[in-house]
């Protein structure tokens, strides 16, 4: 029974990749890496902020709606990040650096929270680390 289910799942995946995979990849082919990363970052941070608002500030149908909106944004983040035409290990370095910067902007917009000196110092290390991971090519 389990093997039949697994085979069927594989067939469905193959069909989806054949019909939609190339179309989706082609649609994002012309978008530059920094733009993809910026979109992914904004989607992730916004999704996280909306989920946080749902958990701590709302109840009932509004909470459920915010959870759904946050989930949709987080799905978009995962999709855009994985569409980047770069090796995953390298894209993560640049993404983490971008994430830190966008996180501070969204944190200020959504929660009126300014970064403290330790956050700025740690953020400088995050940005430097992201640059090292992305751009350092061993000789």
- Give me the pLDDT at residue 84, please: 73
- CA–centroid distance for 106 within its chain: 14
Longest CA span, the chain: 58
Is 77:43 a contact under the CB 8 Å cutoff? yes
Q: What is the rounded CA–CA span in Å between residue 115 and residue 113? A: 7
Helix (H) or strand (E) holding 98: helix 88-111
- Give me the pLDDT at residue 18, please: 62
- Give me the pLDDT at residue 135, please: 84
Is 93:128 a contact under the CB 8 Å cutoff? no
Q: What is the rounded CA–CA span in Å between residue 62 and residue 50? A: 11
- Give me the pLDDT at residue 66, please: 97
- Give me the pLDDT at residue 83, please: 77
- Give me the pLDDT at residue 116, please: 96
For residue 116, give the DSSP letter.
P
Is 100:123 a contact under the CB 8 Å cutoff? yes
Q: What is the rounded CA–CA span in Å between residue 111 and residue 22? A: 40
What would you report as the CA-atom Rg of the chain, rounded to the nearest whole angstrom? 19
- Give me the pLDDT at residue 27, please: 60
Residue pLDDT tens, the chain, 139 long: 556 555 665 565 565 556 555 555 566 666 777 888 888 889 999 999 999 999 999 999 999 999 999 999 999 998 888 777 777 777 788 888 989 999 999 899 988 999 999 999 999 999 999 989 888 888 7
- Give me the pLDDT at residue 94, please: 85
Q: What is the rounded CA–CA span in Å between residue 119 and residue 85? A: 31
């Amino acid at each position: 029974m389990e093997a039949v289910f697994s085979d069927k799942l594989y067939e469905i995946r193959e069909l989806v990749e054949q019909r939609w995979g190339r179309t989706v990849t082609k649609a994002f082919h012309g978008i530059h890496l920094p733009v993809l990363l910026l979109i992914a970052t904004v989607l992730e941070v916004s999704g996280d902020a909306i989920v946080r608002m749902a958990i701590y500030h709302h109840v009932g149908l509004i909470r459920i709606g915010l959870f759904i909106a946050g989930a949709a944004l987080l799905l978009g983040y995962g999709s855009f990040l994985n569409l980047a035409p770069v090796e995953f290990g390298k894209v993560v370095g640049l993404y983490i650096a971008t994430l830190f910067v966008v996180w501070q902007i969204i944190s200020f917009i959504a929660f009126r929270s300014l970064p403290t000196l330790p956050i700025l110092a740690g953020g400088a290390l995050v940005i430097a680390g992201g640059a090292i991971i992305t751009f350092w090519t061993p000789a």
